[in-house]
């Protein structure tokens, strides 16, 4: 719990490698996480080779962690292994659909987060890359992912470089927790819940540097624009079709 | 790590309640998990009230944990709060699309699993319910979820009833880990990787009780049939349209 409370994303790593034995112990521990019907509808691809990291880097918009971290992990929703097992056992898996994609996505995310918790408990630092669902197609090509497999998130992991970055703020708990029923947000509630976030020095600087009037505008007009979101939605839905999860 | 290695889903709970202070500490700790751009695109609805649990139960096919656990948590992908914040700050969130649904789903799953790890470290036991994406619509109605909010998983949580259930098997690590590139599975690899699973006493009993020839058939012909998967895919895609994530 104490490690969890102090956690922050780590984007700079020392040159120290992660022994295979430790990595495997962490992944094995993480595989104890809950999953759908104990089918384990996920896989993870481990990238350590420098050339292979270079190949992945553009898919993550060349964020430097991809090439500087000793280990890059790509967590995938995977029905391929289960389907082959079934076919070899006189069974036919009807898993090429959106509901099973959701189950496999959930499985792979619980597995990824369990890995993250275990790794951080062992003193490692990591960063999730949200670029994975934007650029799933080049990642599929770089990692030879067959039909039935879709990359969902990537984690870069290594030993944290000191000094550690400051911990980011979070919304107060009553912003995210609803008792019994969902209580929609009044303008007054929004003011109260977002006050700390809006008044943090780093976010104020973020607004200034981006020449915007409000912090929300930095998100909606620069970081996560409607045009980009819609473009990458169409691209990802096509990936789901190509990988066999949507008709 | 040791707690994680020993983990198992807990479906039977003592009558002991979970104090609000502990629950909030666990949820607050879990909110330290990584999330997309620190937008925290998730919410959780806490159900303690007996009548409200009764209302949720049918959506979970009346699995007894829903009414017997002291606390039921519904983890939701949520862009509603962010959108209201943006609207109140001269910004327009273009988040009504599939890519943002994926980001919010990932955020909510990392949050849920971080909660699970923290709760188990404190000696609580829990069970994930995969029924949430099957019956998202009645859950949306029961919890008053507005547009922009979709329930993804439910966790029932309480103090474990002794004796604890046996730990389920997992596939060996090399079934789920690929070094550098995805290595597709030969029939020989499948035989080796699924041997332990197929030969476990409980799975053998599972095959016998269901009058099937192979374990895979129990999954594909009884538990996760093509017809059911396709039915619930159509239903869930409609929910995504209704909640504003698909055109």
Residue range B170-184, pLDDT digits in tens: 999 999 999 999 999
Q: Decide if B32 and A226 are in contact by the 8 Å CB cutoff.
A: no
Asked if residue A135 lies in contact with residue A60, where contact means CB atoms within 8 angstroms, the answer is yes
Question: Looking at residue B2, what is its pLDDT?
Answer: 87
Question: Looking at residue A1, what is its pLDDT?
Answer: 84
**Which residue of chain A comes nearest to B24, CA vs CA?**
A173
**Which residue of chain B comes nearest to A95, CA vs CA?**
B226
Question: Looking at residue B131, what is its pLDDT?
Answer: 97
**Which residue of chain A comes nearest to B88, CA vs CA?**
A187
CA distance B173 to chain A (A): 6
Q: Give the number of other CB atoms < 10 A from CB of residue A61.
A: 11
Q: Is the pLDDT at A240 greater than 90, yes or no?
A: yes
Asked if residue A240 lies in contact with residue A100, where contact means CB atoms within 8 angstroms, the answer is no
Question: Looking at residue B226, what is its pLDDT?
Answer: 98
What are the tens digits of pLDDT across the range A97-147?
999 999 999 999 999 999 999 999 999 999 999 999 999 999 999 999 999
CB nearest A146 (choices: B89, B182, B232):
B182
Q: Is the pLDDT at B39 greater than 90, yes or no?
A: yes
Q: Is the pLDDT at B238 greater than 90, yes or no?
A: yes
Question: Looking at residue B1, what is its pLDDT?
Answer: 84
Q: Is the ipTM of this complex over 0.85?
A: yes
Q: At A247, is the pLDDT very low, low, confident or very high (cuts 50, 70, 90)?
A: confident
A238 touches chain B (CB under 8 A): no
B229 touches chain A (CB under 8 A): yes
A7 touches chain B (CB under 8 A): yes
Question: Looking at residue B171, what is its pLDDT?
Answer: 98
Question: Looking at residue B14, what is its pLDDT?
Answer: 97
Average pLDDT estimate for A161-189: 97
Local structure of residue A37 (DSSP, 8 states): G
Distances (CA, A) of B95 to B173, B179, B237: 37, 36, 17
Question: Looking at residue A234, what is its pLDDT?
Answer: 98
Whole-model pTM over 0.95: yes
Rounded-to-integer distance, Cα B1 and Cα A205, Å: 39
Q: Which residues of A touch B102 (CB under 8 A)?
A: 105, 133, 152, 236
Question: Looking at residue B25, what is its pLDDT?
Answer: 98
Mean pLDDT of chain A: 97
Asked if residue A119 lies in contact with residue A126, where contact means CB atoms within 8 angstroms, the answer is yes
Rounded-to-integer distance, Cα A195 and Cα A174, Å: 13
Torsion over CA: A156, B77, A200, B83 (sign) = positive
Q: Decide if B94 and A225 are in contact by the 8 Å CB cutoff.
A: yes
Q: Could you tell me the two tokens for A139?
A: 């990642």
Identify the H or E element spanning A188: helix A187-199
B124 touches chain A (CB under 8 A): no
Question: Looking at residue A117, what is its pLDDT?
Answer: 97
Q: Is the pLDDT at B247 greater than 90, yes or no?
A: no
CB nearest B46 (choices: A31, A116, A178):
A178
Q: Decide if B230 and A94 are in contact by the 8 Å CB cutoff.
A: yes
Average pLDDT estimate for B37-64: 98
Q: Give the number of other CB atoms < 10 A from CB of residue A146.
A: 16
Strand-pair category, A149-158 with A71-78:
antiparallel
């Amino acid at each position: 719990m104490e490690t969890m409370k102090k956690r922050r994303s780590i984007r700079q790593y020392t040159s120290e490698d992660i022994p295979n034995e430790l990595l495997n112990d962490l992944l094995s521990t993480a595989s104890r996480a809950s999953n759908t019907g104990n089918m384990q509808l996920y896989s993870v691809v481990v990238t350590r080779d420098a050339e292979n990291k270079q190949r992945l880097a553009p898919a993550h918009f060349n964020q430097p962690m991809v090439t500087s971290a000793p280990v890059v992990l790509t967590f995938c929703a995977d029905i391929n292994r289960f389907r082959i097992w079934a076919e070899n056992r006189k069974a036919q898996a009807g898993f090429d659909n959106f509901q099973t994609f959701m189950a496999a996505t959930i499985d792979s995310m619980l597995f990824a987060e369990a890995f993250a918790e275990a790794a951080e408990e062992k003193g490692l630092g990591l960063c999730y890359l949200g670029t994975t669902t934007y650029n799933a197609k080049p990642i599929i090509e770089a990692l030879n992912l067959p039909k039935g497999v879709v990359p969902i998130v990537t984690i870069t992991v290594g030993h944290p470089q000191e000094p550690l970055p400051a911990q980011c703020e979070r919304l107060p708990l009553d912003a995210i927790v609803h008792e019994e029923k969902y209580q929609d947000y009044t303008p007054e509630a929004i003011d109260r819940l977002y006050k700390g976030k809006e008044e943090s020095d780093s976010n104020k600087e973020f607004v200034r540097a981006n020449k915007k009037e409000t912090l929300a505008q930095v998100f909606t007009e620069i970081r996560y624009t409607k045009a980009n979101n819609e473009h990458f939605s169409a691209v990802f839905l096509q990936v789901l079709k190509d990988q066999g999860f949507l008709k």
